[in-house]
């Protein structure tokens, strides 16, 4: 197991290097940094002055050398927008996003699994129909709009909760609720179909023939096997909360990575974006590793050597 983790970490480092290289060249080759800063209406001579000032007129390979050395020492340069080191700016936003993601997943995952299992246990029942509605709504959720509607209702009309910002626990309720709709729907759906799948397997017949109680059959026999697709999806959904975070953090002015990404993009801040890519990539790698380790714990057929 330790060897497996070591191998995965080495692989991850390689992937990280490739991603950062791609990002660098995408920024320098597809886009012109100086033009990016100044926007589409910039005059040619302004672009040229800027290129010379920041050294963007030098050969790409020379720039890359400087960039690579910087990355290794954790230096992505100064943010153009805030004029301070980009990496710390990105790093200090992690806790807020993690907090939001954690609350979201802690709320959505268990609830989704319970709902999905109940639906699969009694297919066609009112619970099952309810779960179908939830998962369809989750898949169709227009997160930014739902966030605004929640603000309209709970903050503006009822004045129960703050409209936006961060601080006490009250602030996290609405954003987490908005963000949880999609994972809730998707995980409930997958749990339902994975459980239905397992409950129709021959080994369930065996368990019934053995005279096991229904609870043992559903929770003991089927759920352990159904966990594998559920965990896969949960990992994907955890990563996808970053998608949602961009929008939801914007709506609720939640000071996390997502909000910073939007600011970096609207302020055309290339160093900050490069630093953000680095941070996001690491978050993804860690999530994937956790998912893989959970697999090997759950499925005896997956053994890493």
Closest CA to 90 of 286, 243, 255, 252: 255
The least distance separating other proteins from the CB of residue 4, rounded to whole angstroms, comes to: 9
Which backbone phi and psi does 213 adopt, to 5 degrees?
-70, 155
The CA distance from 217 to 10, in Å, is: 41
The CA distance from 277 to 197, in Å, is: 38
Q: How does DSSP assign 124-167, residue by residue?
A: TSHHHHHHHHHHHHHHT--HHHHHHHHIIIIIIIS--S-SS--S
The least distance separating other proteins from the CB of residue 281, rounded to whole angstroms, comes to: 8
- Interaction between residue 181 and other proteins (CB under 8 A): no
Write out the two tokens for 26: 């995408």
The least distance separating other proteins from the CB of residue 232, rounded to whole angstroms, comes to: 11
Stretch of 86-94, 109-117, 167-175, 235-243 lying at the interface with other proteins (CB under 8 A): 235-243
Task: Give the nearer residue to other proteins in terms of CB position, either 50 or 169.
Answer: 50
The least distance separating other proteins from the CB of residue 123, rounded to whole angstroms, comes to: 4
Binding residues for other proteins, rule CB under 8 A, total 72
- Interaction between residue 2 and other proteins (CB under 8 A): no
Binding marks (x or -) toward other proteins, 4..43, rule CB under 8 A? ---x-------x-------x--xx--xx----x---x---
Stretch of 67-75, 82-90, 108-116, 297-305 lying at the interface with other proteins (CB under 8 A): 297-305
- Binding residues among 263-292 for other proteins as defined by CB under 8 A: 265-266, 268, 273, 277, 280, 284, 288
- Figure out which of the listed residues 261, 272, 275, 279 binds other proteins, where binding follows CB under 8 A: 261
Tell me 218's DSSP state. I
Stretch of 53-61, 78-86, 96-104, 203-211 lying at the interface with other proteins (CB under 8 A): 203-211
> What letters, b where the CB count within 10 A reaches 16 and e where it falls short, cover 152-180?
eebbeeeeebbbbebeeeebbbbbbbbbb
- Binding residues among 149-168 for other proteins as defined by CB under 8 A: 149, 151-152, 156
Task: Give the nearer residue to other proteins in terms of CB position, either 82 or 268.
Answer: 268
Please name the helix (run of DSSP H) or strand (run of DSSP E) that holds residue 55, with its range, or none: none
Sign of the Cα pseudo-torsion (105, 108, 111, 114, in order): negative
Nearest-5° angle of CA 302, CA 211, CA 196?
50
């Amino acid at each position: 197991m330790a060897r497996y983790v070591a191998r995965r970490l080495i692989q991850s480092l390689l992937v990280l290097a490739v991603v950062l290289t791609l990002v660098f060249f995408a920024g320098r080759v597809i886009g012109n940094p100086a033009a990016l800063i100044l926007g589409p209406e910039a005059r040619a001579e302004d672009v040229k002055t800027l290129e010379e000032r920041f050294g963007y007129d030098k050969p790409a390979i020379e720039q890359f050398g400087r960039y690579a050395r910087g990355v290794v020492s954790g230096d992505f340069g100064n943010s153009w927008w805030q004029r301070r080191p980009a990496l710390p700016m990105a790093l200090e936003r992690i806790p807020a996003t993690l907090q939001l993601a954690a609350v979201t997943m802690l709320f959505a995952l268990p609830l989704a699994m319970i709902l999905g299992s109940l639906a699969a246990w009694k297919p066609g029942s009112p619970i099952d129909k309810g779960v179908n509605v939830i998962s369809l709504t989750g898949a169709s959720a227009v997160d930014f709009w739902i966030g605004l509607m929640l603000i309209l209702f709970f903050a503006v009309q009822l004045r129960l909760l703050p409209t936006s910002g961060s601080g006490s626990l009250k602030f996290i309720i609405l954003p987490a609720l908005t963000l949880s709709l999609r994972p809730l729907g998707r995980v409930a759906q997958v749990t339902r179909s994975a459980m239905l799948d397992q409950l129709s397997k021959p080994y369930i017949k065996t368990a019934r023939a053995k005279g096991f109680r229904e609870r043992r059959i559903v929770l003991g026999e089927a759920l352990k096997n159904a966990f594998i697709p559920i965990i896969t999806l949960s990992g994907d959904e955890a990563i996808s909360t970053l998608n949602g975070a961009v929008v939801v953090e914007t709506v609720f002015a939640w000071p996390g990575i997502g909000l910073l990404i939007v600011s970096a993009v609207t302020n055309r801040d290339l160093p900050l974006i490069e630093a953000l890519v680095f941070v996001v990539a690491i978050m993804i790698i860690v999530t994937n590793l956790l998912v893989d380790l959970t697999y090997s714990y759950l499925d005896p057929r997956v053994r890493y050597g």
